[in-house]
Structure 1
Amino acid sequence: MTHSVPVRAQGEPDTSARTELTLLVRRSRRLPADLVEGPNTISQRELVTGYGATADDLAHVCDVLRGYDGFEVVGIDAAARRVDVAAPTSEVMRVFGGTAAQTSAVDAFTEQTGTYRTWEGEPVVPPELADVVVAVVGLDTRPRLRPEFRTFPGQQRILYTPPELGALYRFPAGTDGSGQTLAIVVTGGGFRMEDMEAYFTGLGLPVPAIRTVSVGGVKNEPGGPGDLEVVLDVQVAGALAPGADLVVYFAPNSDQGAIGALQAAIHATPTPTAISLSWGAPEAQSTPQVLAVMDDLFAEAAALGITVCAAIGNEGSSDGVYDGGSHVNFPASSPHVLACGGTTLVGDPGSGTIESETVWNTGADGATGGGVSGAFDLPDWQVSAGVPNRPGSKTPGRGVPDVAANADPATGYQILFNGQAGFIGGTSAATPLWAALVCRLAEGLGRPLGLLAPLLYEGPTTDRVTVGFRDVVAGNNGAYASSPGWDANTGLGTPDGTALLESLRRRLGSSAASE
Structure 2
Amino acid sequence: MGTKQNRVVLSGGAGQQWLPEHPLDREPDPDAPARLTLLLRRRAPLPNALLETPAVISLDELAAQYGAAPDDVQLVKDVLGARGLEVTDAGDRLVTVEAGLAALTSVFGASLRLFEGEDPFRPGPVHYRRLAGDLLLPAELDGVVLSVVGLETQPVARPEFYTPDGEPNSVYSPIELGRLYRFPADMDGTGQRLAVVSLGGNCHPEDLQAYFTGLGLTPPSITHISVDGADISPPTGPATKFDLEVTLDLQISGALAPGAQILNYVTRNNGQGILLGLRAAIHATPAPTAISLSWGSPEITYSGQLALAMHDLFEDAAALGITVCAASGDTGSVSGMKDGGHHVNFPASDPYLLACGGTTLIADVQTNTIHAETTWNTGTSSATGGGVSGVFDLPDWQAAADVPKRSGSDDPGRGVPDVAANADNNTGYQVLLGGRQICVGGTSAATPLWAALICRLTQSLGRPLGLLQPLIYQDLQANSVTAGFRDVINGDNGGYAARPGWDANTGLGSPHGEDLLAVLRERLP
Given that residues 23 and 114 in structure 2 are in contact (C-alpha distance below 8 angstroms), is that contact kept between their aligned partners in structure 1? no
Report the more deviating stretch, 60-69 or 362-371.
60-69
Partner of 2:86: 72
Q: Return closer, same or farther for 1:390/1:203 CA change in 2, 3 Å cut-off.
A: same
**1:58 pairs with 51, 73, 82, which one?**
73
| Rounded Cα–Cα distance in structure 2 between residues aligned with 1:8 and 1:284 | 21
Partner of 1:232: 248
Partner of 1:173: 185
Instruction: Tell me the percent identity.
Output: 55
Partner of 1:435: 451
SS in 2 for 1:363: coil
| Rounded Cα–Cα distance in structure 1 between residues aligned with 2:254 and 2:352 | 24
Q: Deviations over 1:365-406 (max 9, x none)?
A: 510010000100000000001111112211100000000000
Given that residues 23 and 113 in structure 2 are in contact (C-alpha distance below 8 angstroms), is that contact kept between their aligned partners in structure 1? no
| Rounded Cα–Cα distance in structure 2 between residues aligned with 1:390 and 1:418 | 43
Given that residues 152 and 365 in structure 1 are in contact (C-alpha distance below 8 angstroms), is that contact kept between their aligned partners in structure 2? no
**Correspondence 1:343-382 to 2 at 5 A:** 343-364=359-380, 366-382=382-398
**2:175 pairs with 141, 148, 163, which one?**
163
Task: Give how far 1:122 is off.
Answer: 2.8
**2:121 pairs with 104, 109, 112, which one?**
109
| Rounded Cα–Cα distance in structure 2 between residues aligned with 1:115 and 1:289 | 21
Structure 1, gaps ≥5 residues long: 510-515
Partner of 2:97: 85
Q: Return closer, same or farther for 1:94/1:200 CA change in 2, 3 Å cut-off.
A: same
Task: Give how far 1:295 is off.
Answer: 1.3
**1:188 pairs with 200, 203, 210, which one?**
200
SS in 2 for 1:377: coil
Given that residues 75 and 84 in structure 1 are in contact (C-alpha distance below 8 angstroms), is that contact kept between their aligned partners in structure 2? yes
Partner of 1:446: 462
| Rounded Cα–Cα distance in structure 2 between residues aligned with 1:29 and 1:93 | 31
Task: Give how far 1:290 is off.
Answer: 1.9
| Rounded Cα–Cα distance in structure 1 between residues aligned with 2:216 and 2:16 | 41
Report the more deviating stretch, 177-186 or 7-16.
7-16
**Correspondence 1:113-132 to 2 at 5 A:** 113-132=125-144
Given that residues 118 and 142 in structure 1 are in contact (C-alpha distance below 8 angstroms), is that contact kept between their aligned partners in structure 2? yes
Which residue type is aligned with residue 50 of structure 1?
Q
Which residue type is aligned with residue 470 of structure 2?
P
Task: Give how far 1:222 is off.
Answer: 4.1
Task: Give how far 1:34 is off.
Answer: 2.1
Task: Give how far 1:63 is off.
Answer: 2.2
SS in 1 for 2:380: helix
Asked if 1:141 is matched to 2:156, the reply is no
Partner of 1:290: 306
When the two chains are superposed, the root-mean-square deviation of aligned CA atoms in Å is 1.2
| Rounded Cα–Cα distance in structure 2 between residues aligned with 1:189 and 1:479 | 32
Partner of 1:512: none
Q: Deviations over 1:324-352 (max 9, x none)?
A: 11100000000000000000001012211
SS in 1 for 2:137: coil
State the TM-score, normalized to the length of structure 2. 0.95
Partner of 1:44: 59
Q: Deviations over 1:180-230 (max 9, x none)?
A: 000000111111111111100110011110111111100224444321000
Which residue type is aligned with residue 275 of structure 2?
I
| Rounded Cα–Cα distance in structure 2 between residues aligned with 1:505 and 1:28 | 35
Partner of 2:36: 21
Task: Give how far 1:261 is off.
Answer: 0.5
Asked if 1:100 is matched to 2:112, the reply is yes
SS in 2 for 1:112: strand
Given that residues 11 and 103 in structure 1 are in contact (C-alpha distance below 8 angstroms), is that contact kept between their aligned partners in structure 2? no
Q: How many correspondences in the alignment?
A: 506
Asked if 1:338 is matched to 2:350, the reply is no
Asked if 1:251 is matched to 2:267, the reply is yes
Q: Return closer, same or farther for 1:2/1:155 CA change in 2, 3 Å cut-off.
A: farther
Given that residues 205 and 234 in structure 2 are in contact (C-alpha distance below 8 angstroms), is that contact kept between their aligned partners in structure 1? no
Given that residues 332 and 381 in structure 2 are in contact (C-alpha distance below 8 angstroms), is that contact kept between their aligned partners in structure 1? no
SS in 1 for 2:90: strand
Task: Give how far 1:461 is off.
Answer: 1.4
Given that residues 188 and 250 in structure 1 are in contact (C-alpha distance below 8 angstroms), is that contact kept between their aligned partners in structure 2? yes
State the TM-score, normalized to the length of structure 1. 0.96
